[in-house]
Structure 1
Amino acid sequence: MGAERRKPVWRRVAWGGACAAALAALVLSSACSSFGQWSRSPQEQAQVQASPQWHDGQFNNPQPMWSDMKRALWRAFDSEPGQSPAGPVPVLRSQGEALAVAPASGLRVTWFGHSSTLLEIDGQRVLLDPIWSERPSPVSWAGPKRWFAPPIPLDKLPAIDAVLVSHDHYDHLDRATVMALQARGARFIVPLGIGGHLRGWGVPNERIVELDWWQSTAVGTLQVTATPARHASGRINPQADHTLWSGFALVGPQHRVWYSGDTGLFDEMNDIGARLGPFDLTLIESGQYDADWPDWHLGPEQAVLAHQRVRGQLMMPVHWGLFALAHHGWTEPVERVLAAAACQHVSVLTPQPGQSVEPQQRASASRWWPAQPWHTAAERPVIATKRGDAAQRVELPRCS
């Protein structure tokens, strides 16, 4: 009798295991191509290992990073009031009509939400970290969902001279968007190692340029330089830090722009400003931060400090306004950037998603987002470590 009673239990366990295995197989089969490159050719691996950033079997940061992983995992499924919009996000939708005429000033920026941005600079059109998919995820049916559809359809964008990808996390390197752009003949400029993902998705090798930190390539009269960053990479855990991450400096005959990519605060930002600045415009990641991992992302106050370190003139916060990827209100990044910028006398550009703006012809910063409660820097500080030691933190400038 005892054995007969146990039978249904074992059947349930077996059935549950089979269901779990089937679900895992479904996830893997649907996500496999989105994962990107699993292995490298000897030639690709030799190029990667020749980098000064590669040692101990992976790429490394200019300064070590610290995180309270135990607390971060404990809070992983917490939600924050106002973390996602309560109503529709105000978006300026179009079919790209404003982009048909070149910017009179020679510099124009169109923000699509998060870090996706079209930069028109000195006659060249450069698309930064484009994601037109519904979710930054290896599968289309799971993961954080975007709050609004792309303001301009991808096929309505004008001809793009180069696509810049800062690293291979899903909210920056989107397979479906890459494949759509490669069908249009796009050229890609990426940090070391990411070329393997692109080749696997059908991008011809002759349309891929891979750069190490401080290396440059030309896009017309524009010099594009990969700049150091303090972050990480990987699309699945075994690939962690096997591809490089970077920011980009774009230097033209008349204008200079710096895009931070994803980064925490680090000392070499001063070198970026000294070697490649000053910059007319900086696009700096300012959202998706947390005190449990303060070295992975800048956060608003340190974004303003980064702008100052690289010798920026006008700052535009990015990496916010499209996905909920951290425990803060969705408008908090821009509110805290504006507060910190006011203290440090920094000018800030805050275009509406889909709006094309020429920074040199800008009016005052427009507040297109709704008013809602948010936590100040004093209430929830995000302060980077100096060398990966939680006891040694960066000292932020006081309000002047």
Structure 2
Amino acid sequence: MSTTSVTWWGHSTVWLADSGTTLLTDPVLSGRVAHLRRMAGPIPRLPAPPDAVLLSHLHADHFHLASLRALPGSPPLIVPRGAAAFVAKTMGPAFARRCIELAPGEDTTVGAVRVRAVPAAHDGGRGPWSRERALAIGFVVEGSMRTWHAGDTGLFDEMTSIGPIDVALIPVGGWGPTLGSHGHLDAADAVEAIRRVKAGWAVPVHYGTLWPIGLGRVRAHMFHEPGPRFASLAAEQTPDVHVRVLAQGETLTVGRGE
């Protein structure tokens, strides 16, 4: 049986294995990102160098430079259109030469899978203090199954064109109590997103890992609850979708026909 496996390492970092090809999404391989501290789960332990790294946008909790420098091997970096210049400036020409830039609708092949960029409704800049900008995108990995790594996104009308999807890696929360809803999905919107893409399976991500230093007890429900809340709402509103809430470091393996 053909299978796809996803190991969630917290936030948006997922190890995806399909058809003998391994991909790593938005890697954060440290205990801290700027003012954010890892509050749950171990620091990721990669089993081997990935065949490629998927980077959805320039925000530091998704495009973490120290983690990219720490990656084993020299995997290609599949990045949004416009991001290679940022990589050249911050990491040097050797890293920039590894970049494959994609805009929505464009794709590339990694091993036995095809990686296609899809739209995302999210700010693509590095941050309010930076002039560095690139697109914000998601990815659909097409191998034995179709897996959607949404990156960061809000709802948008064209989301229906992304499906049908076998496995959705869907953001359901954020990293802080003041992050806001613009360009993000909460648990309820994430259920609408998996309905729009006609997902077979859904794994909630982008919650319960990073939190601002010193705010561990401030609105802690926003840290712990998004994944279980998403599962509960999905059971009510999209009962045909299989939802699996993973702990950091846990793996879900899905076979065709499950």
Q: TM-score range, shorter-chain basis?
A: 0.7 to 0.9
Matched, 1:332 2:219: no
**Which residue number in structure 2 is paired with residue 29 of structure 1?**
none
**Per-residue deviation, 1:335:** 2.2
Larger Rg computed on CA atoms: 1
Of the three residues 132, 155, 162, the one matched with 2:29 is: 132
Residue correspondence of structure 1 range 35-46 to structure 2 within 5 A: none
Question: What residue number does 1:320 align with?
Answer: 207
Structure 1 Cα separation of the partners of residues 106 and 130 of structure 2: 23
Whose RCO is larger (CA < 8 A, sep 6+)? 2
Q: Which amino acid aligns with 1:354?
A: G
Q: Is residue 129–residue 172 contact of structure 1 (8 Å, CA) maintained in 2?
A: yes
Distance 1:243 1:270 in 2: 24
Distance 1:308 1:213, change over 3 A: same
Question: What amino acid sits opposite 1:287 in the alignment?
Answer: G
Q: Which residue number corresponds to residue 169 of structure 1?
A: 59
TM-score, normalised on structure 1? Answer: 0.57
Number of residues of Structure 1 aligned to a counterpart in Structure 2: 246
Aligned to 1:286: 172
Please list every run of 5 or more consecutive structure 2 residues that lacks an aligned counterpart in the other structure: 213-217
Q: 1:135-167 deviations in whole A, cap 9, x for unaligned?
A: 222xxxxx12111463443xx431311100001
**1:105–1:358 Cα contact (<8 Å) kept:** no
Q: What is aligned with 2:123?
A: 232
> 1:189 maps to which residue?
78
Label 1:348 to 1:207 Cα distance change in 2 as closer, same or farther (>3 A).
same
- The 8 Å contact of residues 232 and 241 in structure 1, kept in 2 or not, is answered as no
Contact 1:108/1:359 (8 A) holds in 2: yes
Q: Percent sequence identity over matched residues?
A: 36
TM-score, normalising length from structure 2? Answer: 0.87
Shift of 1:129: 0.4
Alignment-mate amino acid for residue 261 of structure 1? G
Q: CA deviation at 1:291?
A: 9.4
Segments of structure 1 that go 5 or more residues without pairing to the other structure are 1-103, 138-142, 364-400
Match of 2:140? Answer: 249
Comparing both structures, which one devotes a greater share of its residues to helix? 1
Give the partner amino acid of 1:188: L
Distance of 1:206 and 1:293 partners within structure 2: 35
Counterpart CA distance in 1 for 2:160 and 2:79 is 23
Higher share of residues assigned strand? 2
Superposition deviation, residue 223 in structure 1? 1.1
Q: What is the root-mean-square deviation in Å for CA atoms of aligned residues?
A: 2.4
Match of 1:199 in 2: 88
- 1:145 is aligned to 37
Task: Report the 3-state secondary structure (helix = DSSP H, G, I; strand = E; otherwise coil) of the residue aligned with 2:185.
Answer: coil
Using the TM superposition, give the Cα deviation of residue 111 of structure 1 relative to its aligned residue in structure 2, in angstroms.
0.7
Match of 2:246 among 351, 357, 375: 351
Q: 1:207 to 1:304 in 2, by over 3 A?
A: same
